[in-house]
Structure 1
Amino acid sequence: MTTADDATDATDATAGRERRRDHWQRRRRLERRLHDGAALRISSLALRLGVLDAPREQIDALQGEVADALDELRAVAAGIYPPLLHEAGLGPALLERVRATGADVALDVADDRCGPAAEGAAYFALVEVLTGSPGPLAVGAHRDGTELVVRIGGADPALAAVVRDEAAPLGGTVEAGPDTIVARFPCG
């Protein structure tokens, strides 16, 4: 028998998952605005600088500053929501991150797509785990029905709290063993 409290809890949980999905969609839209707006404008400025009638060393210096600003803007946009995560999925985005940081990580991530909320939450949870784990890690991820299952081997079990912070708002779960963290992120 379902009580009114059970129905309220279910409604609250559903509303929380919807808010979290909206959160990831807002992050993605913000990243696109930065890329499609400011980044394109800065790129255009760099090209226009190349045709100015001024001493070459001044133009080169200005182009260098513009290029630095564009790199910083791209880094901010990628921190909000990596374009590769949206375009290609969790596996390629994690591989790019591992290569960029030089982390000692073995990745085994299936090509199955799971939606921006689940993939975004898993990605940012894993980024935090990578940052907090000095030793080698083994990260596996695959879709199991309606869930994205992420297994992190070699991680400090205390980092399960970081993963839980991303999984729980979506209705996901996290289990931590002595050297393994297993998280389930609902795909819906």
Structure 2
Amino acid sequence: MTTADDPTRRRERRREHWQRRRGLERRLHDGAALRISSLALRLGLLDAPREQVDALQGEVASALDELRAVAAGIYPPLLHEAGLGPALLEAVRASGADVALDVTDERCGAAAEGAAYFALVDVLAAGSGPLAVTARREGSTLVVRIDGADPALACVLDDEAAPLGGTVDTDSSLIVARFPCG
């Protein structure tokens, strides 16, 4: 087995991947987004017809909204700031999906939380019926249970869990994914 095939090294690369995603989100937020916000404020001070200034501020506000959406797609700020529960709650509300959430407040690291978040958002996008999602830290593992999901969606969770050294099991309409905490 080569060093590149070493499971420990693969998990470490995946954790580094999630840290890079988080770093990109912060750079967008702390750099470009702050500059655009500053530009919007400075536009308000221009000595120009109000209609032109208002139109420019509207365009700047739209650009800022688009930038924030890109940053959130890389790594949602709420996931970093408040954790998996609040970030999933926001995603569920935005999707309008029928989901009962029961998510621990205990943090599990950027890699595990990011992988679980994006896998669950993909499950929501698949449009399953009513779901019950629980997420708990059990030792050094984030265990996510999705009740009511199509078992075929297990592959969506496995795509995120496996590179971290995690596993996914299915039983009828229950999917259980395990994400090692970093």
The TM tier, using the shorter chain, reads over 0.9
The one-letter code sitting in structure 1 at the alignment partner of 2:38 is: S
1:115 counterpart letter in structure 2: G
> Of the candidates 144, 148, 167, which is equivalent to residue 173 of structure 1?
167
Task: Summarize deviations over 1:120-144 as a string: whole Å, max 9, x none.
Answer: 0000000000101331111000000
Aligned residues: 182
**Residue 125 of structure 1: aligned partner:** 119
Are positions 1:43 and 2:37 aligned together?
yes
Which of 162, 166, 169 is 2:156 aligned to? Answer: 162
The answer on 1:79 being equivalent to 2:73 is: yes
What secondary structure is seen at the aligned counterpart in 1 of 2:10? helix
SS of the residue aligned with 1:125? helix
Structural RMSD (CA):
1.5
Indicate if the aligned counterparts of 2:151 and 2:173 stay in contact, CA closer than 8 A: yes
Contact 1:164-1:173 within 8 A present in 2 as well:
yes
| Structure 1 stretches of 4+ moved >2 Å | none
Is 2:25 the partner of 1:31?
Answer: yes
Deviation at 1:24, TM superposition (A): 0.2
The answer as to whether partners of 1:174 and 1:184 remain within 8 angstroms in 2 is: yes
CA contact (8 A) 2:95 2:124 kept: no
SS of 2:92 mapped into structure 1 = helix
Q: Which residue of 2 aligns with 1:16?
A: 10
Aligned position for 2:55: 61
Percent sequence identity over matched residues?
80
Contact kept? 1:133, 1:156, Cα under 8 Å: no
Q: Per the alignment, in what secondary structure is the counterpart of residue 6 of structure 2? A: helix
SS in 1 for 2:106: coil
